[in-house]
Amino acid sequence: MPFASDPSKSGRRLALLKSGCRLMRRLRRWNTPTPAPGRVVVRLSGEIDTRNARHTGQRLQQALAPGLAVLEIDLKRVTRITGDGSLAFFTVLKATGPSGTRLVLTHVSPQALGTLSQLGLARVLEMYEGDDPAH
């Protein structure tokens, strides 16, 4: 049987795979860029719609702190933003007004850009397809 594997070898392979996964997790942590002082990065994921817009907006407001220069919202893992979901961005935009905090959206997908543009948010928010060039 040419495809049969030796049980002792499969145990060693499994141990090697596990150690490789631990190493990759460590490397990912080390390679994660740390935000500059005065900058907070919030990474959102999934759909932002009517079910979670209010909660998402509240969580974004919690990220605001006195003296914060930039609040970066990373949309890399966001699959879809609905018109109702954009309430989250209106909420945080209203909260940043008096403080002068710059609100930046990064990794904006074409779908998200379309939705936010239709609602006029593209005129008041800084949006980038990739990373913020000022970062």
Its pTM stands at: 0.71
pLDDT given at position 98: 78
Sign of the four-CA dihedral 19, 23, 24, 29:
positive
pLDDT given at position 110: 93
Residue 56 near residue 25 (C-beta atoms within 8 A): no
Rounded CA separation 4/91 (Å):
60
pLDDT given at position 131: 86
pLDDT given at position 119: 92
pLDDT given at position 91: 92
Burial 36-47 (b: 16+ CB within 10 A, else e): eeebbbeebeee
Which residue intervals of 32-120 are DSSP H helices? 53-63, 87-96, 110-118
pLDDT given at position 36: 62
pLDDT given at position 26: 41
Closest by CA to 114, choosing from 79, 83, 91, 71, is 83
The domain segmentation of the chain, as residue ranges, is 1-32, 39-127
Host H or E run for residue 39? strand 39-48
Rg (CA), the chain: 21
Assigned fold of 39-127: Transcription Regulator spoIIAA (3.30.750)
Residue 85 near residue 53 (C-beta atoms within 8 A): yes
Mean pLDDT by 10 residues, the chain (135 residues): 48 50 43 65 95 94 90 95 94 88 94 93 91 76
